Amino acid sequence: MEKVKLEIVGLSYSQTQSGAYALVLAESGGKRRLPIIIGGFEAQAIAIELEKMVPTRPLTHDLFKSFAVSFTIQIKEVVIYKLIEGIFYSKIICEKDGQVSEIDARTSDAVAIGVRFNCPIYTFESILSSAGILLDENADDDSMDMGEMEDETEQKEGLKGMSVEELESELNQAIENEDYEMASKIRDEINKRSAN
């Protein structure tokens, strides 16, 4: 079976499951999206790496990377290879000294590790055709409901009223509290000001 390359296009709070997030993967060069429900911790681990944030202490996925690098294990790719009753099954393809190994993993963990190694993510056409969603040309990957949009606007307005020193203090506090979503918003506001 031919593999289909996927790219991460978004992470959003799940409207259907409390405390869960939707990891949205897109068919490379295509219009189909593959939404996968994942836990908050794993969503945070993926977001931290995508945003290039550095937590005060290493997360589990960072520890895995350090371990693999220390023992010269290369992570070659992540493959989402099976879908049974709404559960995606994945494996991490590793290589050491020319020997390739496949490690079974939850999809959320496989992706969190994959982004740390900057390795490609694949699935098969059968999975994409059964669970994928064809993106409406007018739709936006980051679509939110009205409540989320209002909360987002309030947070951004609150950040605009702060000085750079206050923002840096809030950023450090958010990282200490492991609120990486808020830290990302604060960092964006600081970057926006430094660009002007």
- The tens digit of pLDDT for each residue in 55-82 reads 888 889 999 999 999 999 999 999 999 9
Say which residue, 151 or 105, is predicted with more confidence.
Answer: 105
Beta 121-124 vs 74-84: how paired, if at all? parallel
pLDDT tens across 161-189, in order?
788 888 888 888 877 777 776 777 787 77
The DSSP 8-state label assigned to residue 17 in this structure reads: S
Place of tokens 């393809």: 93
Confidence grade of residue 99 (pLDDT, cut at 50, 70, 90): very high
pLDDT above 50 (res 146): no
CA 58 – CA 4 distance, rounded (Å): 32
Show the CA angle centred on residue 116, arms to residues 106 and 159, nearest 5°.
100
- What pLDDT shows up at residue 196? 62
pLDDT above 70 (res 91): yes
Q: Which residues neighbour 29 within 8 Å (Cβ) at sequence distance 6 or greater?
A: none
Cα 114 to Cα 54, 59, 99, 165, distances in angstroms = 17, 14, 19, 35
